[in-house]
Amino acid sequence: MTTHGADGAGGADPLLTVLELLARQAPSARFDALLDQARRDGLGSEELGRLERAVVLAGQVHAERAHDARREAGLEALADTARDLTLSYDLDGLLHVITRRARRLLGLDLAYVTLRGPHGSCYVHTTEGTRPGRAGGPRLAPGLRVAEGYGLGGAVQLHGVPVWTPDYLADERFAPSGSLDAGVHAPAFDEAAEAALRAEGLHAIVAAPLRSGDTVIGTLFGADRRVRHHTSEEIGLLAALADLAALAVEKAGLLDRTRAEVSELERDSARVRTRLTRMRHVSEAHGRIMNLVLAGGDLRSVAKAAADALDASVLIRDPGGRSLALVGEVPCLDEEAAEEAVEKASLDAHARRRPVLAADDTWVAPVIAGSEDLGGLVVHAAGGLTGEDERLLELAAQSVAFLLLMRRSTAVAEGPVRDELLDDLIADPPHAPQQIAQRAGRLGVDLRRPHVLVLARPEGGEQGRAVVWASSYAYRLSGLKTVQGGCIVLLLPGDDASAAARAVAAELSPLLGHPVSVASAGPGWSPDAVGRMHREAWRCLDAMSALGGTGSAASVRDLGFLGLLLSDDNDVDGFVESAIGPVLDYDAERFTDLTHTLEAYFASGGSPTNAAEALHVHPNTVSRRLERIGDLLGPEWQKPGQVLEVQLALRLQRTREALARGRVTPEPPRPPERGA
């Protein structure tokens, strides 16, 4: 049989022509043309049947070849995607690559990925192929929250296998009342997600799980805007891409955790380096402070070193709250409320045996030795204190305590020599004044400066602790100390005997925990004055006891006219000046007569009217003069105690004036007459 081939070559065997077309991968239309030509050429039925069978077989081979090509393309895409996972570290970029390739390989209109949130719900992470939505309208965009169990994604979450539908909008399984598995799963309904899917006009949707072990962490969706039946190969390819997407998520999560751990390690390393630097700074600063202490530095030098190390102001206080050394300014101590806060913090610091924050940027550290309170450090740091700074503050407080103990030890060691010197000064008559001055100079005591003498008598308890304190106190103030007749005797530099008595009482009484009677006298400016001050102080102490003043502190001057009687030098001028000096000065400056008004007032029994008659002035004039006197002497000048001193001072002043008027001034001797 002879016929024309489909390629125009006549007489060719049709079956051979089919093989040639198949070898050249000719389209199916060429095979159909070959059959049409054979029918027109009148090919026999038997041969035509064989030719038709050959064309069918060639079509099957052609389909298998196309399937293999698609499969090869899918595998190549998977290999490329897997390679991208090794090259990129950005989760957004990796998921965009996966959704883009899913669209291209499966011919999809849209692909997107949802991931599980921390509380079970999902959110859209990546989309590819979405339509631009209307302003304010529903959109299938990254960040869209999807209710747990909603739609295909909910089914994938539940079963962990791919789920698909050719027409989502018409599939009753995903309606609010539908069920994928009767009695097992009733999908939730999410109005926002449903509106977004309808706005995209999606019909065919296939969803594959992103699995991490046995857990579904998200879903890869492929969707079309037409009804479409997906093949098993397409579903398998989407599932493979979903596995790669899961690897991308795990890789990104691992990388984030690794980065976070590296960042935390870097922060820890920086903190350790900073801490080591601060600890080195603390160690060096403590070394400098201790070198100052061991080299014999004073409290101010130690306070200055601590202030420089802490970049702060530092105040060293004794147990009574008095300043021993100050570097810089501590502003909170200028306010009464803040001072109370510091005092409370000081108590807390001693109870806890560590620094305590008293107010904004102000700390208090206890200066203690065992259970003994030696005082405290008040530190004001404008920038606050770090943990290392607090440690340095503790070490500085220990250094101050060590310095105070060293001073006490020195004072105790020199105690017998100092006691002997003060005993010799008090002796009557004093021993070798010239030698005493030299001995005092060797001990750092300058007896040419003003000094006061203080007697302190503990009212109960043992005396040993008070004696140790007195040695340290006298050494600290460059004074002398001894013990006589059960009393501590202190010779201290200064010209205010009353202030010295109060300072001793304020510090010693809290230390002993029971009252201390303190009497003082002075000042004196020479070694010879010490014995006199000692006798006056003893008489003052006896007078305090007789007047019921046990446990109080006073000087000879504080006792008023009694002090005048107790004093060896009977300082009448000083007594008159302290009692009515302002009135005398006022009269002298303004040529007034307030002094005579006072005398008339007292002579009339305190009656302004009678005083006015005696002075021949109007009562109102007397009242105004009395008001002026009150301004000069103070509001309490008419109270019994002060009235007595005022009257005594007036009498002494009047007597002095009378004696001055009656004093006879001797005339100078006349020169002898000539010839006498």
Residue type, 420: E
Residue 485 has pLDDT above 60, yes or no: yes
Please give the Cα distance from 28 to 564 (Å, whole number): 142
Which of 178-192, 217-231, 419-433, 610-624 has the weakest average pLDDT? 178-192
3-class secondary-structure state, position 218: strand
Give, for 578, the enclosing helix (H) or strand (E): helix 572-590
Q: What is the pLDDT of residues 444-481, one digit of tens each?
A: 677 788 999 999 998 876 677 888 888 878 877 878 88
Backbone angles phi, psi at 591, to 5 degrees: 55, 40
Segment 305-329 shows an average pLDDT of 80
Q: What pLDDT band is residue 345 in, cutting at 50, 70 and 90?
A: confident
3-class secondary-structure state, position 207: strand
Q: What is the DSSP letter of 446?
A: -
Strand boundaries in 269-322, DSSP class E: 313-317
β-bridge partners, 481 = 490
Residue 102 has pLDDT above 80, yes or no: yes
Residue type, 149: G
| Most confident region among 72-76, 91-95, 259-263 by mean pLDDT | 259-263
| Percent of the chain predicted with pLDDT > 90 | 7
Segment 323-342 shows an average pLDDT of 72
Residue type, 377: L
Q: What is the pLDDT of residue 669?
A: 47
| Token digits of residue 296 | 């014999």
Q: What is the pLDDT of residues 609-648, one digit of tens each?
A: 888 888 888 888 888 888 888 888 888 777 776 777 777 7
Query: Residue 42: left if φ>0, alpha if ψ -120 to 50, beta else—which one?
Result: left
Q: What is the pLDDT of residues 555-589, one digit of tens each?
A: 877 765 555 554 444 555 666 677 777 888 888 88
C-alpha to C-alpha distances, 117 to 98, 145, 210, 457, 610, nearest whole angstrom = 20, 9, 14, 81, 102
Q: What is the pLDDT of residue 319?
A: 75
Q: What pLDDT band is residue 226 in, cutting at 50, 70 and 90?
A: very high
Q: What is the pLDDT of residue 162?
A: 92
Taking residue 412's Cβ as centre, other Cβ atoms within 10 Å add up to: 14
Q: At what angle do helices 572-590 and 594-603 cross, to 10 degrees?
A: 120
pTM of the model: 0.39
Q: What is the pLDDT of residue 666?
A: 45
Burial of 191-200, coded b for 16+ CB within 10 Å and e otherwise, reads eebbebbebb
Please give the Cα distance from 28 to 468 (Å, whole number): 121
Task: Confirm if 625 and 633 have CB atoms less than 8 A apart.
Answer: no
Q: What is the pLDDT of residue 38?
A: 78
β-bridge partners, 363 = 357, 379
| Token digits of residue 404 | 């105070």
Task: Confirm if 377 and 306 have CB atoms less than 8 A apart.
Answer: yes
Please give the Cα distance from 227 to 270 (Å, whole number): 61
Token look-up 């404008």 returns 382
Task: Confirm if 372 and 401 have CB atoms less than 8 A apart.
Answer: no
Task: Confirm if 95 and 245 have CB atoms less than 8 A apart.
Answer: yes
Q: What is the pLDDT of residue 566?
A: 47
Q: What is the pLDDT of residue 598?
A: 83
Q: How far apart are the first and last CA of the chain?
A: 205
Taking residue 279's Cβ as centre, other Cβ atoms within 10 Å add up to: 13
Q: What is the pLDDT of residue 602?
A: 80
Give, for 356, the enclosing helix (H) or strand (E): strand 356-359
Which residue in 496, 499, 507 sits closest to 488, CA to CA?
A: 507
Taking residue 494's Cβ as centre, other Cβ atoms within 10 Å add up to: 18
Which of 19-33, 204-218, 551-565 has the weakest average pLDDT? 551-565
Taking residue 473's Cβ as centre, other Cβ atoms within 10 Å add up to: 25
Task: Confirm if 629 and 594 have CB atoms less than 8 A apart.
Answer: yes
Q: What is the pLDDT of residue 70?
A: 65
Q: What is the pLDDT of residue 146?
A: 86
DSSP assignments along 614-664, one per residue: HHTS-HHHHHHHHHHHHHHH-TTTTSHHHHHHHHHHHHHHHHHHHHHHHPP
Q: What is the pLDDT of residues 502-545, one digit of tens each?
A: 999 888 888 888 888 999 888 888 888 888 888 888 888 887 77
Q: Quick one: the chain helix, strand, coil %, rounded to 5?
A: 55, 15, 30
| Token digits of residue 184 | 């097992």
User: Regarding predicted confidence, which is higher, 671 or 124?
Assistant: 124
Q: What is the pLDDT of residues 121-176, one digit of tens each?
A: 788 989 998 887 665 667 888 888 888 888 888 888 888 899 999 998 888 887 76
Q: What is the pLDDT of residues 34-81, one digit of tens each?
A: 777 778 877 777 787 888 888 787 777 777 776 666 666 666 666 666
Q: What pLDDT band is residue 408 in, cutting at 50, 70 and 90?
A: low
